[in-house]
Homo-oligomer: A and B are copies of this chain.
Amino acid sequence: RRNGFPEVIFGEGKSAEQIAAIMKELSGRSSRVLATRVDAVKAEQIVNAVEGAVYHSAARAITWRKSGLEAVESAGYVAVVCAGTTDIPVAEEAAVTVEWMGSRAERIYDVGVAGIHRLFARLEEIRDANAIIVVAGMEGALASVVGGLVSKPVIAVPTSVGYGANFHGFAALLAMLNSCAPGVTVVNIDNGFGAGYAAGLINKNRGVPAEH
Protein backbone atom coordinates (compact mmCIF):
# COMPACT_ATOMS: atom_id res chain seq x y z
CA ARG A 1 0.00 0.00 0.00
CA ARG A 2 1.49 3.24 -1.22
CA ASN A 3 -0.22 5.54 1.22
CA GLY A 4 2.11 5.19 4.19
CA PHE A 5 -0.30 3.62 6.66
CA PRO A 6 -0.96 -0.10 6.77
CA GLU A 7 -4.17 -2.02 6.11
CA VAL A 8 -7.02 -1.88 8.56
CA ILE A 9 -9.33 -4.85 9.11
CA PHE A 10 -13.06 -4.31 9.46
CA GLY A 11 -13.78 -7.08 11.97
CA GLU A 12 -17.56 -7.25 11.70
CA GLY A 13 -18.67 -10.43 9.98
CA LYS A 14 -15.23 -12.02 10.13
CA SER A 15 -14.37 -14.97 12.40
CA ALA A 16 -11.57 -14.84 15.00
CA GLU A 17 -9.57 -17.22 12.84
CA GLN A 18 -9.94 -15.03 9.78
CA ILE A 19 -8.96 -11.87 11.64
CA ALA A 20 -5.95 -13.55 13.28
CA ALA A 21 -4.76 -14.87 9.96
CA ILE A 22 -5.00 -11.49 8.25
CA MET A 23 -3.26 -9.77 11.19
CA LYS A 24 -0.38 -12.23 11.09
CA GLU A 25 0.04 -11.83 7.37
CA LEU A 26 -0.10 -8.03 7.52
CA SER A 27 2.26 -7.82 10.49
CA GLY A 28 4.84 -9.49 8.30
CA ARG A 29 4.97 -6.59 5.85
CA SER A 30 3.77 -3.57 7.76
CA SER A 31 4.75 -1.62 10.88
CA ARG A 32 1.24 -1.40 12.31
CA VAL A 33 -2.05 -3.29 12.00
CA LEU A 34 -5.50 -2.39 13.32
CA ALA A 35 -8.68 -4.44 13.57
CA THR A 36 -11.95 -2.68 14.47
CA ARG A 37 -15.38 -3.97 15.52
CA VAL A 38 -14.06 -6.99 17.39
CA ASP A 39 -16.04 -8.24 20.38
CA ALA A 40 -14.40 -9.52 23.56
CA VAL A 41 -14.92 -13.19 22.80
CA LYS A 42 -13.21 -13.08 19.44
CA ALA A 43 -10.58 -10.72 20.79
CA GLU A 44 -9.31 -13.19 23.34
CA GLN A 45 -8.62 -15.77 20.66
CA ILE A 46 -6.94 -13.27 18.40
CA VAL A 47 -4.71 -11.80 21.08
CA ASN A 48 -3.58 -15.30 21.98
CA ALA A 49 -2.79 -16.08 18.38
CA VAL A 50 -1.07 -12.86 17.33
CA GLU A 51 2.05 -11.98 19.24
CA GLY A 52 2.08 -8.35 20.33
CA ALA A 53 -1.61 -7.72 19.63
CA VAL A 54 -3.42 -5.60 22.25
CA TYR A 55 -7.20 -5.51 22.78
CA HIS A 56 -8.90 -2.24 23.73
CA SER A 57 -12.24 -3.39 25.06
CA ALA A 58 -13.98 -0.01 25.31
CA ALA A 59 -13.03 0.66 21.69
CA ARG A 60 -13.68 -2.92 20.58
CA ALA A 61 -10.41 -2.70 18.62
CA ILE A 62 -7.16 -4.67 18.42
CA THR A 63 -3.90 -2.91 17.66
CA TRP A 64 -0.52 -4.28 16.74
CA ARG A 65 2.59 -2.19 16.34
CA LYS A 66 6.07 -3.44 15.40
CA SER A 67 8.17 -3.66 18.52
CA GLY A 68 10.56 -0.74 18.70
CA LEU A 69 8.13 1.88 17.40
CA GLU A 70 7.80 4.88 19.70
CA ALA A 71 4.38 5.03 21.33
CA VAL A 72 4.11 8.71 20.45
CA GLU A 73 5.84 9.74 17.26
CA SER A 74 4.34 13.16 16.65
CA ALA A 75 4.30 16.33 18.73
CA GLY A 76 0.98 17.87 19.69
CA TYR A 77 -2.23 15.95 20.32
CA VAL A 78 -5.74 15.25 19.18
CA ALA A 79 -8.65 16.10 21.50
CA VAL A 80 -11.51 13.58 21.53
CA VAL A 81 -14.64 15.25 22.88
CA CYS A 82 -17.90 13.48 23.70
CA ALA A 83 -21.00 14.18 25.75
CA GLY A 84 -23.06 11.10 26.59
CA THR A 85 -21.70 7.94 28.18
CA THR A 86 -23.40 5.88 25.49
CA ASP A 87 -21.26 7.58 22.84
CA ILE A 88 -18.03 6.47 24.53
CA PRO A 89 -17.42 3.28 22.48
CA VAL A 90 -17.25 5.32 19.28
CA ALA A 91 -15.08 7.95 20.96
CA GLU A 92 -12.75 5.21 22.13
CA GLU A 93 -12.51 3.75 18.61
CA ALA A 94 -11.37 7.20 17.51
CA ALA A 95 -8.91 7.68 20.36
CA VAL A 96 -7.33 4.25 19.97
CA THR A 97 -6.93 4.85 16.25
CA VAL A 98 -5.18 8.17 16.92
CA GLU A 99 -2.79 6.49 19.35
CA TRP A 100 -2.13 3.57 17.04
CA MET A 101 -1.07 6.09 14.39
CA GLY A 102 1.53 7.48 16.80
CA SER A 103 -0.20 10.57 18.15
CA ARG A 104 -1.39 11.43 21.64
CA ALA A 105 -5.17 11.45 22.21
CA GLU A 106 -6.65 13.64 24.96
CA ARG A 107 -10.05 12.27 26.09
CA ILE A 108 -12.58 14.92 27.14
CA TYR A 109 -15.71 12.92 27.80
CA ASP A 110 -17.72 14.67 30.44
CA VAL A 111 -18.99 17.61 28.43
CA GLY A 112 -22.32 18.29 26.72
CA VAL A 113 -24.48 21.07 25.39
CA ALA A 114 -27.15 20.64 28.08
CA GLY A 115 -24.50 21.37 30.75
CA ILE A 116 -22.34 23.75 28.78
CA HIS A 117 -20.25 24.99 31.74
CA ARG A 118 -18.44 21.63 31.83
CA LEU A 119 -17.41 22.21 28.23
CA PHE A 120 -16.11 25.68 29.04
CA ALA A 121 -14.12 24.30 31.96
CA ARG A 122 -12.01 22.28 29.54
CA LEU A 123 -11.90 24.70 26.66
CA GLU A 124 -8.17 25.48 26.80
CA GLU A 125 -7.31 21.81 26.44
CA ILE A 126 -9.57 21.57 23.42
CA ARG A 127 -8.20 24.73 21.82
CA ASP A 128 -4.58 23.61 22.14
CA ALA A 129 -5.07 20.40 20.20
CA ASN A 130 -3.95 20.16 16.57
CA ALA A 131 -7.23 18.53 15.63
CA ILE A 132 -10.47 17.93 17.50
CA ILE A 133 -12.84 14.99 17.20
CA VAL A 134 -16.41 15.55 18.43
CA VAL A 135 -18.52 12.41 18.97
CA ALA A 136 -22.27 12.80 19.57
CA GLY A 137 -25.57 11.01 18.95
CA MET A 138 -28.36 12.96 20.57
CA GLU A 139 -26.22 16.10 20.97
CA GLY A 140 -25.39 16.81 17.34
CA ALA A 141 -25.28 20.44 18.47
CA LEU A 142 -21.99 19.79 20.26
CA ALA A 143 -20.00 19.90 17.01
CA SER A 144 -21.35 23.36 16.21
CA VAL A 145 -20.65 24.67 19.68
CA VAL A 146 -17.08 23.35 19.73
CA GLY A 147 -16.47 24.50 16.15
CA GLY A 148 -17.50 28.02 17.11
CA LEU A 149 -15.01 28.14 19.98
CA VAL A 150 -11.82 26.93 18.29
CA SER A 151 -9.73 27.64 15.20
CA LYS A 152 -8.56 24.10 14.53
CA PRO A 153 -9.96 21.43 12.23
CA VAL A 154 -12.93 19.71 13.86
CA ILE A 155 -13.96 16.22 12.73
CA ALA A 156 -17.50 15.37 13.77
CA VAL A 157 -18.67 11.77 14.28
CA PRO A 158 -22.43 11.25 14.52
CA THR A 159 -23.38 8.14 16.48
CA SER A 160 -26.40 5.87 16.19
CA VAL A 161 -27.25 6.41 19.85
CA GLY A 162 -30.75 7.83 20.33
CA TYR A 163 -34.27 6.94 19.34
CA GLY A 164 -37.30 8.03 17.32
CA ALA A 165 -36.66 10.88 14.93
CA ASN A 166 -32.96 10.37 15.46
CA PHE A 167 -33.17 7.70 12.75
CA HIS A 168 -30.11 5.77 13.94
CA GLY A 169 -27.78 8.74 13.76
CA PHE A 170 -29.11 10.37 10.61
CA ALA A 171 -30.38 13.40 12.57
CA ALA A 172 -26.96 13.92 14.15
CA LEU A 173 -25.26 13.47 10.78
CA LEU A 174 -27.43 16.17 9.20
CA ALA A 175 -26.97 18.53 12.14
CA MET A 176 -23.20 18.20 11.82
CA LEU A 177 -23.18 18.68 8.05
CA ASN A 178 -25.20 21.87 8.43
CA SER A 179 -23.03 23.32 11.17
CA CYS A 180 -22.51 27.04 10.73
CA ALA A 181 -19.15 26.91 12.44
CA PRO A 182 -16.51 26.69 9.71
CA GLY A 183 -13.77 24.11 9.92
CA VAL A 184 -16.12 21.22 10.75
CA THR A 185 -15.99 18.12 8.55
CA VAL A 186 -17.95 14.92 9.08
CA VAL A 187 -17.51 11.14 8.79
CA ASN A 188 -20.04 8.30 8.57
CA ILE A 189 -22.29 7.46 11.52
CA ASP A 190 -20.35 5.52 14.22
CA ASN A 191 -17.13 5.78 12.19
CA GLY A 192 -14.76 6.53 15.06
CA PHE A 193 -12.00 4.85 13.11
CA GLY A 194 -12.36 7.20 10.14
CA ALA A 195 -12.27 10.28 12.35
CA GLY A 196 -9.26 9.01 14.25
CA TYR A 197 -7.44 8.23 11.05
CA ALA A 198 -8.04 11.68 9.55
CA ALA A 199 -7.08 13.42 12.79
CA GLY A 200 -3.98 11.27 13.04
CA LEU A 201 -2.96 12.34 9.54
CA ILE A 202 -3.47 16.01 10.47
CA ASN A 203 -1.46 15.78 13.69
CA LYS A 204 1.36 13.75 12.15
CA ASN A 205 4.41 15.90 11.38
CA ARG A 206 2.51 18.94 12.58
CA GLY A 207 5.50 19.98 14.61
CA VAL A 208 4.62 22.16 17.53
CA PRO A 209 1.09 22.70 18.78
CA ALA A 210 -0.39 25.62 16.85
CA GLU A 211 -1.43 28.69 18.78
CA HIS A 212 -5.15 29.54 18.83
Contacts and interface: CB of A to CB of B under 8 A. Distances in A.
Contact of A13 (B2, B86, B166, B170): B86
A188 interface: yes
A173 interface: yes
Can you tell how many copies of this chain the complex includes? 8
Contacts of A166: 174, 178, 188
A175 B175 contact: yes
A113 B174 contact: no
Interface residues of A, number: 81
Interface in A153-168: 153, 155, 158, 160-168
B198 A182 contact: yes
B148 A114 contact: yes
A28 interface: no
The 9 closest A-B pairs by CB, nearest first: A164-B189, A141-B141, A185-B185, A4-B151, A3-B151, A171-B174, A114-B148, A141-B144, A182-B197
